[in-house]
A and B are shown apart, each in its own frame.
Chain A
Amino acid sequence: SSELTQDPAVSVALGQTVRITCQGDSLRSYYASWYQQKPGQAPVLVIYGKNNRPSGIPDRFSGSSSGNTASLTITGAQAEDEADYYCNSRDSSGNHLHWVFGGGTKLTVL
């Protein structure tokens, strides 16, 4: 089945901009969605589709995609953005429909 690849860790200075990327074949056919997970908590959807934020997600979070790569950008990172971030997408490889997750990126805000 398809896989999604993320950098294991990324750091950003407080108030600066950071981009977290996700690569995989499924992204050529399906948009990625992005989830934020803080320790001991369930994941929370932050970006879906082309570049859509659920209600309550700050507008410093944005998404983009090109070819087999999707990106989550945080513009003006805040201390509360320190978390693990996961991408996922639908995948129809192997003639069956399923979901795939990236391995996650740990974001540290310095």
Chain B
Amino acid sequence: QVQLQQWGAGLLKPSETLSLTCAVYGGSFSGYYWSWIRQPPGKGLEWIGEINHSGSTNYNPSLKSRVTISVDTSKNQFSLKLSSVTAADTAVYYCARGRSITIFGVVITSYYYYMDVWGKGTTVTVSS
């Protein structure tokens, strides 16, 4: 059973850099997309970005200038850094495993993308 365990600083001051790490236990690290998602208090989910085992990244355009996601395959871990935080970055931050599968049909081939394993979340508060 794959589990994601995440940790990082929970209280930051404005302009500091948020840093979180997510470790993958009980499963392969390669062949998946490893994402960070956040949820401000009382609001919906926002995708931040992702990385695969080879270090290829995709970021949410609205956060791209401040986000860096990195991977340490020797430890089966991936990390998030978000620079110059403000109160608007206060949220619960989740790590999640994204995967894709290919379904070969008689006529067409379909591709399924989904996030099947999530970390428990880390509450990050930005306050002076």
- Least Cβ–Cβ distance between B42 and chain A, in angstroms: 11
Tell which of A42, A50, A88, A94 touches B61, judged by Cβ atoms closer than 8 Å: A94
How many residue pairs between the two chains, A and B, have CB atoms under 8 Å in the bound complex? 74
Decide yes or no whether A44 CB sits under 8 A from chain B.
yes
Decide yes or no whether A31 CB sits under 8 A from chain B.
yes
Decide yes or no whether A61 CB sits under 8 A from chain B.
no
Q: Are A98 and B47 in contact (CB under 8 A)?
A: yes
Q: Are B112 and A99 in contact (CB under 8 A)?
A: no
Kindly list the 8 A-B residue pairs having the minimum CB-CB distance in the complex, ordered from nearest: A49-B112, A48-B114, A33-B114, A90-B113, A99-B47, A42-B118, A104-B44, A101-B45
Decide yes or no whether B35 CB sits under 8 A from chain A.
yes
Decide yes or no whether A43 CB sits under 8 A from chain B.
yes
Number of interface residues of B (CB under 8 A): 27
Q: Are B121 and A97 in contact (CB under 8 A)?
A: no
- Contact A99/B98 with A1-B61, A43-B45, A104-B45 known, Cβ cut-off 8 Å: yes
Decide yes or no whether B29 CB sits under 8 A from chain A.
no
Chain A residue at smallest Cβ distance from B100 = A90
Chain B residue at smallest Cβ distance from A99 = B47
Chain B residue at smallest Cβ distance from A31 = B112
Q: Are A45 and B111 in contact (CB under 8 A)?
A: no
Q: Are A43 and B44 in contact (CB under 8 A)?
A: no
Chain A residue at smallest Cβ distance from B94 = A42
Decide yes or no whether B83 CB sits under 8 A from chain A.
no
Q: Are B113 and A33 in contact (CB under 8 A)?
A: yes
CA distance A94 to B64 in the complex (A): 14
Q: Are B111 and A30 in contact (CB under 8 A)?
A: yes
- Least Cβ–Cβ distance between B46 and chain A, in angstroms: 7
